[in-house]
Each structure stands twice: as C-alpha cells, then as structure tokens.
Structure 1
Amino acid sequence: MTSDRPAARVVCVDALGRVLLMRWRDTVSGEVFWEPPGGGIDAGETPLAAARRELTEETGLPGEAVLDTWIPVPRDFHWLGVHYVKVEPFYLARFAAVPEAAPVVLTAEESETCLGSAWLSSAEIAALPDPVKPPDVVEIAAELVRRAEGCASGA
C-alpha cells in the first residue's frame, strides 16, 4: 500500500546549533531510525498549525517557536507496512537555550514506537548507528536557518 498523507515536520535548532531528532522503531519492519518531530496534517489544519501541534505533542516544546519559514522536502519511506511518497514542508524552530524535550501527548501508535529524542550536533548525527530520515537533515537545518536569517535581515 502507498500513501501520500500530508504531513509537516519541524527542524529544531538549539543555542548550541544542535538539531533535535526523535528516535523511532517501526514495529512491522523492526527498523530503528531518527527524524525531526512532526506528523500528519489533520483535516482543516494548515501545515504550519500541524507543525506547531506536532512539536508540542511529541516534544513538549512550545508550538509558537515554529517559524513560518519552511522548505519542501521530498520523502520516500516505509512506516508500519505503508509506503509513503510525498513532499513535506519542514519548518524551523529556534531556541535561545537548550530546552529539554519530552513527549506530552502521543497516540497509541507513537507510544509503542517512540524511543526518545536527543539534541545532536552535525558530527553526532553523522556518527549515529541508525539511519537519519531524511539523510540530509543537517543541510536542511542549515538552509532553514539561512532563510530565517535572510528574512530577519530583510534580504
């Protein structure tokens, strides 16, 4: 089965320039991987609203931290026996400190599959033994930060 269910993700960058990644285990394939927080867009919800909601639910971080700065990211992955092929908006959230992240509201599926989260440097991401999805998340984070700084400076 293939799905193109709309979803949005959030690339969180802390005061040390690290990226927050969630660690998941697919209970069908057994694969363990890391990816930015995010998830499905509910009916009537904008991608930005979904990104803000998902960030708070999955990490406890404030949804208002998600900026209206995003880039489209092609995705092609399997999750729980479903093949997803789509383009997701990846938004940016920046934090002046190093906030602690912990889930607040997880679905039953997420509770069974979420293995935690971590703030990771680009070197730590490159050294992870499990795959990172998408694999170019460090470059995506850098592009989002560049765009946000360009907007802030009026460029």
Structure 2
Amino acid sequence: MSHPSYDPTASGSIDRAEAERLPYRLGVGVLLLDPGNRVFVAQRADMKTAAWQMPQGGIDQGEAPLPAAYRELQEETGVTSVELLAESRDWLAYDLPLDLIPKLWGGRFRGQKQKWFAMRFLGDESEIDIFGPDQEFTTWRWASLRELPQLIVPFKVELYRRLVEEFAPLIEGGGAAQ
C-alpha cells in the first residue's frame, strides 16, 4: 500500500539519539520470482531518483506476516497467482535517513522491521498491474538476484544484501542469472 502518511513537505530532521528511541514499523516484503528465477522489481513513483524495490509494506493491526505479504503483493502488483517458497529466518530492519523520519508515517517510526517471503509467480505477465488505486510504482521489470542491492535506495542496501545471501541458495540452485 502507498504511504498515506508520507508528507514530502514536512521539514526538519531529528538527531540520531531521538531516532533510536523510536520503534520500527512492522512490515513484510516479497521476493517474487518468475520461472527463470528473475526477481520482480518496480520503480517507486514518489522518488526523484531511479529507486527500485520489491513489493513491501506494513502489517495491519491484528494481521499475521504471511497474509500481509499476500495482501501487499496483490495491492502493489495485482498478482495473486503465487506459490510460497520460503520465509526469511529473521526479521530484517532498516533505518530511515534522519531527514526522512519526519516525512514518513507521521514521524512515529525510525524505519521498518520486515519479514520477507520468496514466492514463485505462477501466472501470466498480463496479471501484473502496478496501476491500481494505491499506485506506488511507475514501471516494473525482472532483475537478476545479484543486481538487487545496486537498484535500491542507499539506506536499504544492507537489507537487500542480506536477502540476496539468504535466498541465493534457493534461487541459484534453480539456475538463476547471477
């Protein structure tokens, strides 16, 4: 889902000590694989730079991580034809840059702590629709697993490196491009 509380006009930043007192927003992410083990990535609509990411978003109150992942995938991509392959061992976190904290989620969170799921896309590409009511993306493509860290915004690079490391045996064992 889009960031309904994203306010690009919010000004100011907070210092590191203030940020460290804030909690993480709980979220999920989906590493969606095509039959050739390429990963779905889409370019964010709310960024001035070429920021690509995989489908991800917050967990609603009372929602479990896996249903949240299916919901976010459908909301952001239109995709429902999937098979669950794996779940990340741990929750993975990223911190927002200090100047972004006041602009996202009403300044209530320092970043996100996410549970990630690898899923196989079983449908036809005509199922993919990034232009839904809560459009977050302007375009999408399939990428190799190894290029993911180079596509993401700098503050999420380490999280994407950890995803590549964790899911590489699952994907590369199936012949993914490196």
Q: TM (normalized to structure 2)?
A: 0.61
1:103 aligns with 2:130: yes
* Cα 1:133–1:95 shift into 2, 3 Å: farther
Q: Report the equivalent of 1:153.
A: none
Alignment gaps of 5+ in structure 1: 150-155
* 1:34 aligned residue: 52
Residue 92 (structure 2) pairs with residue 73 (structure 1): yes
Conserved? CA contact 2:146–2:164, under 8 Å: no
TM-score by length of 1: 0.68
Shift of 1:115: 1.7
| Pairing of 1:79-98 with structure 2 (within 5 A) | 81-82=103-104, 84-95=110-121
| Unpaired segments ≥5 residues, structure 2 | 1-13, 15-21, 173-178
How large is the Cα RMSD of the aligned pairs?
3.6
Q: Which residue of 2 aligns with 1:117?
A: 140
1:43 is aligned to 61
Q: How many residues align?
A: 143
Relative to 1, partners in 2 of residues 1:32 and 1:8: Cα closer, same or farther, differing over 3 Å?
same
**Higher radius of gyration, 1 or 2:** 2
1:25–1:31 CA contact under 8 A, matched in 2:
no
Does the C-alpha gap of structure 1 residues 10 and 123 become closer, same or farther in structure 2, counting only changes over 3 Å? closer
Task: Provide the rounded CA distance (Å) in 2 between the counterparts of 1:89 and 1:146.
Answer: 18
Q: Residues of 2 paired with 1:80 and 1:116: CA distance?
A: 27
The answer to whether the Cα contact below 8 Å between 1:37 and 1:58 also exists between their aligned partners in 2 is yes
Q: State the one-letter code of the partner of 2:68.
A: A
> Post-superposition shift, 1:40?
1.0
- Name the counterpart of 1:152: none
Deviations 1:17-75 (A, max 9, x none): 21111211436xx4441111021111111011100111011111116534452242221
Aligned partner letter, 2:137: C
Distance 1:17 1:64, change over 3 A: closer
Identity over the aligned pairs, expressed in percent?
Answer: 25
For 1:32 and 1:80, the matched residues in 2 are separated by 22
